[in-house]
Structures are given as structure tokens and as C-alpha cells.
Amino acid sequence: MSAFTHLLLAQVGTGRIQGGWEYIWACYIITWTGIVLYAVSLWARQPKE
């Protein structure tokens, strides 16, 4: 293996993401907040009898 290839592979790393659960929970919270707000807006806009 050439020195350049070895240096390039050393910069790439192992390819495993460490942590990241904060972003996943943030996405879940944003998604469910959007669904709840949409449901509330549908309820508020329903025709009154």
C-alpha cells in the first residue's frame, strides 16, 4: 500500500458512528410535534354545526 493510500485511509476512520442518539431523539420529537400540531389544526378548522 502506498503512503498516500495509507494516509487517506487513516483520515477516513473505521466507518462507525459513535453516539448520535441525540439527533435521532430530536428527529422523533420534531416529527411527533408536527403530527400533533397538524392534528390540532385539523380539529380547530373542522366545520361547526
Q: How far apart are CA 39 and CA 32, in angstroms?
A: 10
Q: Where are the domains of the chain?
A: 19-49
Is the pTM of the predicted complex or chain greater than 0.75? no
In terms of DSSP H, where are the helices of the chain? 3-12, 21-44
pLDDT tens digits, 28-47: 999 999 999 999 999 999 98
Q: How far apart are CA 3 and CA 31, in angstroms?
A: 46
Q: How far apart are CA 30 and CA 15, in angstroms?
A: 27
pLDDT tens digits, 16-30: 777 889 999 999 999
Question: Other C-beta atoms within 10 Å of 30: how many?
Answer: 10
Q: Provide the residue type at 33 as one letter.
A: T
